[in-house]
Amino acid sequence: MSAISFLLVVIAAGFYAVATKNQRKEIDRVLQLKLEYLKAFWQEAKHGPTGSPFRTGPGGQKARTSDYAELDSLLMRKNWTDTLVQVSDEDENVLYRSSSLQGHVLAIPSHQSKETFETVDLKGFSYPFRIVSFRSRYTRARHDIIQIGEPLKEMKQLQNDILWGGLIAIPTVLFIGTFIGLFLIRQTLKPVEDLAQQAQRISSESLSRRLPVISTDDEIGKLSLTLNDMIARLEHSIQGIHQFTADASHELRTPLTILQGEIELALKSMHARPCQGNSEDCNKIFQSNLEEVNHLSRIVHHLLTLSRFDSEQNKVEFHPVCIDDILNKIEEPARFLAMQKNQKFHFEKNEKAIVMADASHLQELFLNLVDNAIKYTSQGGKIALFSTLHDSRVVIKISDTGVGIPEDHLDQIFDRFFRVDKERSRSLGGTGLGLAICREIVLTHKGTIRVESKVGQGTTFTVTLPAITTFSS
């Protein structure tokens, strides 16, 4: 508001200055015209050896008062009754003075400029006068000083009008502007207040609700869409947390239930018939317990790994790594696992590439994908691992001829604890977290991972990583 007030004052001051300047220029123009007219009169009226209408004697004596009647008549004919006219000699003695001066004597400028404009105040007048002074020489030693003045009544009135107009208009404009501004602000902020009230009603139990979107073309509409998008993300995150909690509870409860049952059975058996250290029943129970403990350990390890990825606390040390060195390290264990199921393992390296990566994470990534391919491929199947280079990106594919994944499950296989066949996955030692970890590793390395699969024909995982250096094999 203070800025608006300052701007209005500056505008009013500028208008005041411009109006005053223009009025003064107009008055100076009128004075100049009157002066030119008197100069012409001067030339026509001058007589005698002095050449001055106000000095008629041989020695330049002053004319009698009656000799000025012609000039008085001129002022009357021109209706210059408010115009001041004064004629003085070189000694500043007044030779002629119009009746409009009312006995005042105009001060003569000290400088010798031929024409001088100035603004003066005369006692008894409520307004100033604009005066032009002109020196008319008729001999080297003698000259007359003609002074003509115009009242600045109109300019003074204009200035007063502007001043009073500003004093009235500025507070009025500020008051009206403030009122309109508050009204507009209230109207503008009302949708925001409504959004705030709607948002306050949305809690963690009602995240399915959305804020109303009145219009999408203004800022309020964009704000509503942004808030709705944020609420949707929150809803998805909380649903994920709830699902994760339920899945984790289920995954942990199953082995714990098995452990509990087997331990109770072992205690009953030992109470009825103490088992010996080499008893076959005891060995089976303890072997089963060990498997469940190992399964629990894998779940906890994978959960801890994912938690570190989520909190960005997982230590990832990036170094230039040759992708073929990583694949060579997993080739031997992959062949061994495939050999146990009489599977054919094909490994093809077309080009070498250097990537910025954490070698241990990449080894875990590819070993996990190869392990899954072997697990879900039947006896005598085929597993293929090969790498290639395309547009400065290294592409690694792991394919199998296994059971495949239904198309409607392809978008879920990277979700935590998701398993297409829960019973089969558990019997194979899966935790439902391996592919989720693979995705986090790939994202950490600014790569992509995608899957293609057909039920009964097999599955292909494709990992793409940015390469920094390539060279021929």
Tell me the torsion sign for CA atoms 319, 320, 323, 328.
negative
Tell me the three state secondary structure of residue 47: coil
Would you list the DSSP string of 237-257? Answer: HHHHHHHHHHHHHHHHHHHHH
Listed in order, the ranges of the chain carrying CATH 1.10.287.130 are: 219-310
Listed in order, the ranges of the chain carrying CATH 3.30.565.10 are: 319-471
Per the structure block, which two tokens stand in for 27? Answer: 């008055």
Which pLDDT value is given to residue 428? 56
Tokens 């503008």: give the residue: 188
**Domain 319-471 adopts which CATH fold?**
Heat Shock Protein 90 (3.30.565)
Pairing of strands 344-349, 382-390: parallel
Which pLDDT value is given to residue 59? 45
**Residue type, position 471, single letter:** F
Cβ-contact 371, 411 below 8 angstroms: no
Which pLDDT value is given to residue 245? 63
Which pLDDT value is given to residue 417? 73
Q: What CATH architecture is 219-310?
A: Orthogonal Bundle (1.10)
Backbone angles phi, psi at 137, to 5 degrees: -90, 135
Q: Which of 22, 26, 2, 24 is nearest to 14 (CA)?
A: 22
Which pLDDT value is given to residue 472? 47
| Residue length of the chain | 473
For 58-82, the three-class secondary structure string (H helix, E strand, C coil) is: CCCCECCHHHHHHHHHHHHHCCCCC
75-88 burial string, b = 16+ CB within 10 Å, else e? beeeebeebbbbbb
Which pLDDT value is given to residue 383? 92
What is the number of helices (H) and of strands (E) in the chain? 9, 13
Measure Cα distances from 398 to 322, 339, 346, 365, 470 in Å: 18, 17, 10, 11, 21
Cβ-contact 129, 152 below 8 angstroms: yes
- Which residues lie across from 449 on neighbouring strands? 463
The class of domain 2-159 in CATH terms is alpha beta
- Which residues lie across from 136 on neighbouring strands? 144
Which pLDDT value is given to residue 449? 92
Listed in order, the ranges of the chain carrying CATH 3.30.450 are: 2-159
Which pLDDT value is given to residue 450? 92
| Calculated CA dihedral for residues 421, 422, 424, 430, nearest 10 degrees | 120
Which pLDDT value is given to residue 470? 55
Q: Is the model's pTM score more than 0.75?
A: no
473 residues of the chain, pLDDT tens digit each: 566 666 767 777 777 788 778 888 888 888 888 888 877 776 665 544 444 555 544 444 454 444 567 777 778 888 888 888 888 877 888 888 888 888 888 888 876 667 888 888 888 888 888 898 888 766 555 677 888 888 888 777 777 777 787 778 777 777 787 888 888 887 777 777 777 777 777 776 677 777 777 665 777 777 778 888 888 888 777 776 666 666 666 666 667 777 667 677 766 666 565 555 446 666 676 677 666 677 677 667 766 666 666 655 567 788 898 888 888 888 888 888 888 889 999 888 766 788 898 888 898 899 889 988 998 898 889 999 988 888 788 999 999 998 888 888 888 888 877 776 655 555 555 667 788 888 888 998 889 999 999 988 899 999 999 988 655 44
- Which residues lie across from 176 on neighbouring strands? none
Instruction: Determine the Cα–Cα distance for residues 334 and 152; give it in Å rounded to an integer.
Output: 108
Per the structure block, which two tokens stand in for 273? Answer: 């018939």
CA atoms within 13 A on the CB side of 193: 6
DSSP category for residue 458: E
Pairing of strands 393-400, 382-390: antiparallel
Instruction: Determine the Cα–Cα distance for residues 333 and 327; give it in Å rounded to an integer.
Output: 11
